[in-house]
A and B are shown apart, each in its own frame.
Chain A
Amino acid sequence: MRRLLKRGFVAAAILGLGAGAALADYPEKTIEVVVPYAAGGGTDTGARLLLPELEKVLGQSMIIKNIPGAGGTVGATQFSRMKGDGYSLGFLPVGTTTTQPHLRKLTYDDNSFEPVCLTIQDPMAVAIDPGSPIQSIDELIAKAKDQTLSAGGPPPGSLPHIAQAAVANAYGVQFKYVPHEGGPAASKSILGGKLDILVDPIGSAINYGLRPLVLLDGKRHASVPDLPTIDEAGGPPLRYSIWFGLFAPAGTPAEIVKQLSDACKAATTTDAYVQAVANAKRTPRFLPHDEFKTFFKQQYQANAELMSVIGLKK
């Protein structure tokens, strides 16, 4: 059913817009893209923004296979065992690929995946209840020195958890962390006055109805140009973001990875893509496969060290 509808849609899209240029031999058949989270979430929508454009460039249909569970590790493990022939790809986020392997015993690591391209990197923001009198990060910290403030977010080891710990650490305070099912649940607790702080991607924080105080990034965000960065607010130079990228299983031929990376570049520069990403308040960032690989390896190492610093390393 899902496949059928998807194919129908793809066929309509291709017929309507004129099929993309046929590339050598690859791809000859439908490409399957593993998304290790449920449909509708941040990872899934990231993939669903990219794939329609990528399909047009590659001239071949791509279908999403959602394999959710355990912080994306169920899907990522299955993906890491797939054949590296270019017909099995994965759209994976930072946590699944670079923090989970340090938290738990898993059969994959940084060598199990071949980075293809980075497409989205959403900077995180410190957000609070819009009705709160607090107007800046300094006022928040002043209050935190007075009384214990609580922060919420997904389970320990997730990036929102790590980021709130890093903020507290850098300012010499400590937040009480109350794990929730995810960002939306934590936001509800904040709006109900049961919780004080959520550190989450900027677009999500705004969509959940929270008021961001400061952006954990070096430059301001297009969707909220008034929001100061942590540097501008006179804070420590913290950089926290959640990124998403396209991966192939290790062993995928270099020429296919190169071809996919080039296609990804073309797809992420179309007007339709740029507009859709902006509407969703996401943050486009493209890195081709070689640069993404360097970036990925660095992140993997950095997060390993981070996990031991905060005492979560397995």
Chain B
Amino acid sequence: MIEHLPAALTLSASFTVLLALIVGTIAGIIVGALPGLGTVLGLVMALPFTYALDGPTAVALLLALYVSSIYGGSISAILINVPGTPQSAATVFDGYPMAQRGEGALALGWATTASFIGGIFSLVVLILIAPQLAKVALEFGPIETFALVLFALTTIAWVSSGEMLKGLLSACIGLFLAFIGPDDMTGQVRFDFDILFLSGGLAVIPLLIGLFAISEVIYQAATLTDAEMPSVKSGGFKFPSWAAWRPRIVTLLRSCGIGSFIGVLPGTGATAAVFVAYADAKRRSDTPENFGKGEPDGLIASEASNNAVSGGAMVPMLALGIPGDGGTVVMMGALTIHNVIPGVRLFQNQPDVVLSIFLLLLAANIFMLIFGAMGANVFSRLLRIPITLLMPLVLMMSLVGAYAVRSNPVDLVVALGAGLVAFVLRLNSFPLAPIIIGFILGGALEMSLRQGLVMTDQSFLRFFESPIALFLFAITALIVANLILGDRLLRFLPGFSARERK
């Protein structure tokens, strides 16, 4: 492939490409940071502009937007507890507590570098083994997806340590919420109580906004007194030191790997990858009790894995012509318009185009790092706004974001309702993350189970005929058994112990 480098450089090295990268990166960070806009909408908005551009410039614009919008979500997650995109759902757990401690600048530094490395890691994976990985993705039919989602559900245990029963109850709330709306297996609508706006089901962003942002606003209003107005120490942006990085390299690389791999599998989605990586980091940590209280490892896991999904999701899109998520659907449409037809033949017939896409993706990640560092500097000054002014602003932005997702008034009710319920749950020390995990995985869990049952003529036993599914079921069973037996089973296997080891 390397012999095509000169041709690829000729394709992608031009002033307009540079300009497109800059515009795309800035626009991406903004749509990512503003709740309710997000990756797909950003790409769709940019699409009409690309009609007038030449191929490489159009691709540069879209790639820069795609990559940096995933990162942008972390800014609002860290600074104001509002995940700008669903991919940043786990970033709030440790990013926001860090910001509250006055370490917002450092948190942005961790998030930006982790995002950058996640993006680069997945790009390397994409370059080296895209065609082989694409074949693995195809092996994941409904039965294998069901096994994977079931495995992903065990992450609930890791985000609700100490409060296991409450965590499981929270997860049940999330699972139930996922069942509202259309049933894709029959085309019928469930639990809508004949309310039109409920017939489309609930959307994840309003729920996220309610659970994290609005409950935080209520919590602050309920607990704040003049005496304890938090004084914000620093705005700005700070790269973490190498000494701080070194013990976290393993966590970083594992999260990159998890993100890239789950990104390759269509149907599970970036948000699932983030929670699996977060749980993995916590499971392997020497200080799991710090997770959720501003532990950089948690932040790294979340941000490295969600940006690693970007390269992973490109694998089936470029190598097979199958888009894995909403972002790649739009991207594939744009590529097709510019006569780049993704699929098996792309790698054989247009290696220079493939290579130039890789180069642009590399450039997009570098621009994300530069503009992220500069932009974070601007954004983090938000923290200097007194909390009594900031919180009403957060509330307003949250509601606008919740409504903007799909112009459905029920989303305002959902966001406010979720905020109130989450406030009550927080006071009773119920973990909130399992609600989101249950909600996000609930749909895929049910759908893949029922699809699998149709395929096997309603025989669940035949699920075990799939070696991939069998393997995943076995790990899931081990983890659950270990939890029930109070950590006696896997104590000697590093990485599986749920209990704090110190």
| B contacts with A, residue count (CB < 8 A) | 58
Tell me, yes or no, whether A301 is within 8 Å of chain B by CB.
no
> Are B454 and A178 neighbours in the complex by a CB distance under 8 Å?
yes
The minimal Cβ–Cβ distance linking A34 to chain B, given in whole angstroms, is 9
The interface residues of chain A lying within 8 Å CB-to-CB of B197 are 74
The interface residues of chain A lying within 8 Å CB-to-CB of B34 are 1
Chain B interface, >50% SS class: helix
Q: Which of A138-177 contact B (CB under 8 A)?
A: 150, 154-158, 176-177
Among B51, B201, B455, the residue within 8 A (CB) of A276 is B51
> Are A280 and B455 neighbours in the complex by a CB distance under 8 Å?
no
State which of B10-18, B212-220, B229-237, B326-334 sits at the interface with chain A. Answer: B326-334
CA distance A209 to B323 in the complex (A): 11
Q: Which of B375-415 contact A (CB under 8 A)?
A: 404, 406-408
Q: Digit string of B36-65 for contact with A (CB within 8 Å is 1, else 0)?
A: 010011011101110100000000000000
Provided the pairs A1-B31, A155-B183 are in contact, do residues A208 and B48 lie with their beta carbons within 8 angstroms? no
Provided the pairs A6-B45, A150-B455, A192-B140 are in contact, do residues A207 and B336 lie with their beta carbons within 8 angstroms? yes
Provided the pairs A158-B187, A189-B142 are in contact, do residues A66 and B407 lie with their beta carbons within 8 angstroms? yes
Among A40, A41, A74, A279, the residue within 8 A (CB) of B199 is A74
Q: Digit string of B417-455 for contact with A (CB within 8 Å is 1, else 0)?
A: 000000000000000000000000000000100010011
Tell me, yes or no, whether B5 is within 8 Å of chain A by CB.
no
Tell me, yes or no, whether B316 is within 8 Å of chain A by CB.
yes
Tell me, yes or no, whether A185 is within 8 Å of chain B by CB.
yes
Counted as pairs of residues, one from A and one from B, with CB atoms less than 8 Å apart, the total is 148
CA distance A70 to B406 in the complex (A): 13
The interface residues of chain B lying within 8 Å CB-to-CB of A191 are 138, 320, 322
Among B44, B138, B184, the residue within 8 A (CB) of A192 is B138
Tell me, yes or no, whether B267 is within 8 Å of chain A by CB.
yes
Nearest chain-A residue to B343 (Cβ)?
A209
> Are A103 and B184 neighbours in the complex by a CB distance under 8 Å?
no
Tell me, yes or no, whether B139 is within 8 Å of chain A by CB.
yes
Provided the pairs A69-B200, A74-B200 are in contact, do residues A9 and B48 lie with their beta carbons within 8 angstroms? yes
> Are A280 and B336 neighbours in the complex by a CB distance under 8 Å?
yes
Q: Digit string of A202-223 for contact with B (CB within 8 Å is 1, else 0)?
A: 0000011100000000000000
Among B49, B184, B329, the residue within 8 A (CB) of A40 is B329
Tell me, yes or no, whether A5 is within 8 Å of chain B by CB.
yes
> Are B45 and A70 neighbours in the complex by a CB distance under 8 Å?
no
Provided the pairs A39-B40, A68-B406, A185-B267 are in contact, do residues A178 and B455 lie with their beta carbons within 8 angstroms? yes
> Are A181 and B31 neighbours in the complex by a CB distance under 8 Å?
no
> Are B181 and A188 neighbours in the complex by a CB distance under 8 Å?
no
The minimal Cβ–Cβ distance linking A129 to chain B, given in whole angstroms, is 10
The 6 closest A-B pairs by CB, nearest first: A69-B200, A192-B138, A194-B141, A155-B187, A39-B44, A209-B321
18 CB-based A-B contacts, threshold 8 Å: A1-B37, A9-B48, A38-B326, A38-B406, A45-B333, A68-B200, A69-B181, A69-B406, A69-B408, A103-B187, A155-B183, A178-B454, A179-B184, A179-B451, A181-B184, A188-B137, A192-B141, A208-B322
